[in-house]
Amino acid sequence: MAEPEWLTPVEHDAWMALAEVLFLLPAALESQLQRDADLAMADYMVLVMLSERDDHCMRMSELATSASTSQSRLSRIVARLEAAGYVTREMAPDDRRAVIATLTDSGLAKLVAAAPGHVAQVRRQVFDRLTPAQVLSLTEVARALAHPDDSASCELST
């Protein structure tokens, strides 16, 4: 078995810093949303994605891809949102195999109420700590990690 290519000291420092962010940032964002809006981060992001569509609806398969999650996990998220009255699901009129998720007025109101606190937390945790140049670098690095082949896929490669 070949010896692994170990990280250089600079790579190790970068990896440890990223690992710390990956551990701390989601927990801080999730905690704020749970405390202030009684929403999970995944629920919030689904509401955001639906709200950004002109008609406030998306096919579940497209929503799963956009959310970088499996269809089964998305189905559980949407079921939770549907039970709360924030989303409805119905069969697509043009393809009975497809299901459309639609943001309700109640869901939009929930998002509008949750967004200011979430945005303030994102600002505190991320953008207030960075210079404008670092924000641009962060965007470039995050896109390179999320889309290593610059493809349309939102999934991290394994």
Write out pLDDT tens, residues 101-113.
999 999 999 999 9
Mean pLDDT of 60-79: 94
To which residue do tokens 């991320």 refer? 126
The residue ranking higher by pLDDT, 126 or 150, is 126
Q: How far is it, in rounded angstroms, from Cα 18 to Cα 85?
A: 37
pLDDT over 50 at 37, yes or no: yes
Q: Where are the domains of the chain?
A: 32-114
Architecture of domain 32-114 in this structure: Orthogonal Bundle (1.10)
* Cα-based torsion angle of the residue sequence 41, 110, 53, 74 in order, rounded to the nearest 10 degrees: 40
